[in-house]
Amino acid sequence: MDAKTIRSSMADLDKTKDTKVILEILTSLKRDVRPTEKLLRETKVGVAVNKLRSHADPEISNLVKKIIKSWKDEVSSEKKSKVVKKEEPTASSASSASPAIKGEKFQTSKARNPQNDGVSINIHENTTRNGSVGGLYTALAIDSDAFPKIILQTAKEIEQAAYELEYLTVNDNYRNKMRSLIMNLRNKQNPELRARVLSGNIFPAEFVRMKAEDLAPEALKKEIKRLHQKNLHDARGAVEERATTDRFTCGKCKQKKVSYYQMQTRSADEPLTTFCTCENCGNRWKFC
């Protein structure tokens, strides 16, 4: 499927709300698109398909996840094969090749950054953009044995994605975005994020659009989920702990058979909120 046909399918996908038609288009894209880094960047079909990841129909959302994973794996494999081919020695020099190249790992005793790795980041005319590439390179290289060309290519793609897809110019928003991405990549508690970005499991365009909760370390995500579950449990428990009293009078039927429970709905130094239900007529009210 060529770029023109892909764009036509994307337009149809954007227009239709019919789940059957959506499934047909997605199936066609999965079957006929041979993803390459150039094709995905040119058409942005990955971004269009990924928008349906949270579709209400589970069949559509599951198919989208399979397509995105398949495309990521193929592009990642393509990138790695290109870099390995460039780094592999010619037949005439194979006997003198270093063990690092043979083992497909980059070895150095210096702290990894563009200067120490012998990499030039003077790619753009704009010095801020070049600085962003350098910052991304240094962050991605933390604890990595990937070859400089792989890291540089990934850094360039992330910066380019942020520049093209988000802001199209170097302004305060661009600088803040790059600062945030670099800080998240440099986080010592988040090696999983660096590994996923560097391996291609997270597309550059996807990475620059990720929310703060998606960028968080796995341990923090688990802690947030645990606290959320605890809060739900506590709230549910508070609702279930009802008591019946004759101290309250229903304003609707004037009966005194009222059940109630209390919850902390405001700041800790404020009084509890009391929720009342008339057991006679079902009238409900609350007060602090």
- Helix 148-161 and helix 191-199: axis angle, to 10°? 90
Give the tokens for residue 191.
Answer: 């090696």
Contact (Cβ atoms closer than 8 angstroms) between residue 45 and residue 5: no
The pairing of beta strand 243-245 with beta strand 284-287: unpaired
What's the rounded Cα separation, in Å, for the pair 95 and 177? 46
Q: What pLDDT shows up at residue 225?
A: 66
| Domain extents in the chain | 3-86, 100-209, 241-287
Architecture label for domain 241-287: Single Sheet (2.20)
pLDDT of residue 10: 87
Is the pTM higher than 0.85? The answer reads no
Q: How many C-beta atoms lie closer than 10 Å to residue 183's C-beta?
A: 12
What is the model's pLDDT at position 118?
Answer: 92
What's residue 131's pLDDT? 95
> Can you give the pLDDT at residue 83?
55
Question: Which of helix, strand or coil describes residue 260?
Answer: strand
Compute mean pLDDT per 10 residues along the chain, 288 residues long, and list them.
85 88 89 85 86 88 88 77 52 38 72 92 92 95 91 93 77 90 88 88 88 74 65 55 82 90 75 87 88
**Distance of CA 146 to CAs 35, 84, 125, 129, Å?**
23, 11, 27, 23
Beta carbons within 10 angstroms of residue 231's beta carbon: 10
CATH 1.20.930.10, applies to 3-86: yes
